[in-house]
A and B are shown apart, each in its own frame.
Chain A
């Protein structure tokens, strides 16, 4: 019999509450149990994921990465230069978070190595939040690893009750869930309770409720890359809202259920088909027509 299994946030909070654990610690114990591994092994595996997040961020902040289509790239570097200039408007943590989130999402678009968190299309949000808190607030490596386990707790709860695919439920299930995971992580890292972490996840997800999946040309580039940046800023806002003590009443499981309901009622044009939303803007259509006219440069065979 497994001791640390859970089906939803209510069960996870009860588990954590009974033993006075954080969400991060509960999921570490879940993972040790599931894999039959020691604490050190499980933490080392997560440290490996953090390391890959760091190198993706470093690459995107310092190199002029470009996607195959040329539609995105270089944004992380520009944002980093802007932040360093001291003229940024959104403040130290958020300014850094949007630069890192953009950098990581651009590395993904440019066929670099990333950690899907929870998906490849939303891979910049969690590194954006965690690495900016490290740089600006002095959080240590071990706290970041704990933060990734908190994020995993929220992601696992979401994945148990909903699809995390934009094609199934829209971008709310990718960038929305990533922002919820990041917000919860930030709250626990800052010393918040499991209930507060779940609350921040709910605030983040409700703020992105209904977000559609509308990739231009079907590529994970526009609007995906910049949604990682705005998603990271959004997650930090949700964390602050809860840490400040603003009352929030909705259980996270109900917010997830609402997301499933909303996602299921989205028309196909807004679920990763590249036909609605931003993808349908006249300029986006022109970009795509231009892109695909020059694509057939390789020897092709007919069957």
Chain B
């Protein structure tokens, strides 16, 4: 809590939860996909579904998917700008179950990857990623965050931790979940320092690693 939290943030109105938070969710979706999305199916839940139109939640989500920041005046025109940016968007409503009222599911398709993300906007622009594909996560993305998928085998966590330690990167939190023993696993790590590109390349070339995504705080 500091002076610029209460005289700030600088943002596009009208709502920190329904607009600024939605831009951040879009940006995180784009980061998790790891490339610019070309198609996005957006399913709004709860209060997002009821009041998206007057709050510009739809424009804000698309603005984030286009990589715009929360204070970019193009947020307002994001729906009109999307086609020129090569992004095709469709909207729907969906009951996402027991989640925060301001929640959304993004089904994203890029040139080489697809991903489905469920995220919630908690107020004041704060957001949390609740699901990536079939995996439940709890990512606030206030710190640099790494998401890795790999087959559930012994030694992967140790190898990743050793690489980070070697690079002088401190792990702030780590959470691992898996589909079932021996099946695909997903690791989410928050680090105190951003992970430099060289270290990411080294992680990606670990023998059992499938995907490694680095998400900068947005």
Contact = CB atoms under 8 A, between A and B. Distances in A.
Nearest to A114: B13
Contacts of A118: 6-7
Q: Which of A45, A120, A301 has the most CB of B within 10 A?
A: A120
A46 B58 CA distance: 31
A30 B56 CA distance: 36
Contact of A301 (B3, B4, B10, B90): B90
Given A109-B13, A121-B14, A302-B92, A68 B54 contact: yes
B33 to A, nearest CB: 19
B2 interface: yes
Contact of B12 (A112, A117, A302): A112
A111 B12 contact: yes
Contacts, number: 148
A181 B6 contact: yes
A206 interface: no
Interface string A37-76: 0000010011011001000000000000001110000000
Given A49-B4, A113-B71, A300 B92 contact: yes
B13 A112 contact: yes
Contacts of B14: 67, 108-111, 120-121, 219-221
B75 interface: yes
Interface in A96-146: 107-121, 123, 126
A95 to B, nearest CB: 24
B3 A116 contact: no
A165 B21 CA distance: 14
B6 A156 contact: yes
A113 B73 contact: yes
Contacts of A274: 51
A164 B53 CA distance: 24
Contacts of A42: 3
Contacts of B13: 107-114, 120, 123, 220
A13 interface: no
B11 interface: yes
B77 to A, nearest CB: 9
Given A46-B3, A120-B15, A299-B90, A67 B54 contact: yes
B69 to A, nearest CB: 11
Nearest to A155: B6
Q: Which of B14, B20, B53 has the most CB of A within 10 A?
A: B14
Contact of A30 (B2, B12, B15): B2
B124 interface: yes
Interface of A: 27, 30-31, 34-35, 42, 45-46, 48-49, 52, 67-69, 107-121, 123, 126, 148-149, 151-153, 155-156, 158-160, 164-165, 167, 181, 217-221, 274, 291-292, 295, 298-303
Interface of B: 1-16, 19-20, 41, 43, 47, 50-51, 53-56, 58-59, 71, 73, 75-76, 90-94, 123-124
13 contacts: A31-B4, A42-B3, A46-B3, A68-B54, A68-B56, A108-B14, A113-B73, A116-B11, A121-B14, A149-B3, A155-B7, A159-B5, A220-B55
Closest 6 CB pairs of A and B: A155-B6, A108-B13, A152-B3, A220-B14, A219-B54, A218-B51
